[in-house]
Amino acid sequence: MSVLNNEAIRGYIRKLVGDDGIMIVEKMLDKVPDKEVTDENVQEISGINLNLVRKTLYILYENHLALYRRERDKDSGWLTYLWKLDLDNTENMLRNETRKLIKKLERRLEFENNEFYVCEDDAHHRILFDYAMDSNFTCPVDGSPMVYYDNSVEKRALQDRIDNLKAAMK
């Protein structure tokens, strides 16, 4: 269960599969840490609905955190899926997600380098300079004058978040 003791990894897995999914992973790590089990076995040890167990296992598989093997029953021809957690790759997956987030935040910061204007009466809707100029700095919604919006707080917050994420990856 040591992998789930890491708060970042636990949060990443929770983001993928939710609270019930975390409980499924905990039960599998506790009861059958290195064994292959059927989804029905996982349902029995976790007490969670079989459909949710299957959904969780497939999400983990899609994110390279679980493996499965199929076996065909010789008599009935039915396929049985045998599942096993593979959380060794979790740190790499988390690192990749962090890189994606950094790139997204950097794109957002780049966008924040634009000049914005807002309606005097409703400062919640920012409009780019070009659009504000096209409308003669008059709000297209209510016709009130538009004023310059200082977004330095947003820019600083984005830069701080990027810096913190980059520092955490070292």
Could you tell me the fold of the domain covering 2-85?
Arc Repressor Mutant, subunit A (1.10.10)
SS3 80: strand
Mean pLDDT, residues 42-61 taken together: 95
Residue 2: the pLDDT is: 66
Q: Between vectors from CA 149 to CA 148 and to CA 154, what angle results, nearest 5°?
A: 160
CA 127 to chain centre: 29
Domain definitions of the chain by residue range: 2-85, 93-169
Checking if the pLDDT of 169 tops 90, the result is no
DSSP 120: S
Closest CA to 60 of 140, 3, 127, 123: 3
Instruction: Tell if the pTM clears 0.75, that is, is over it.
Output: no
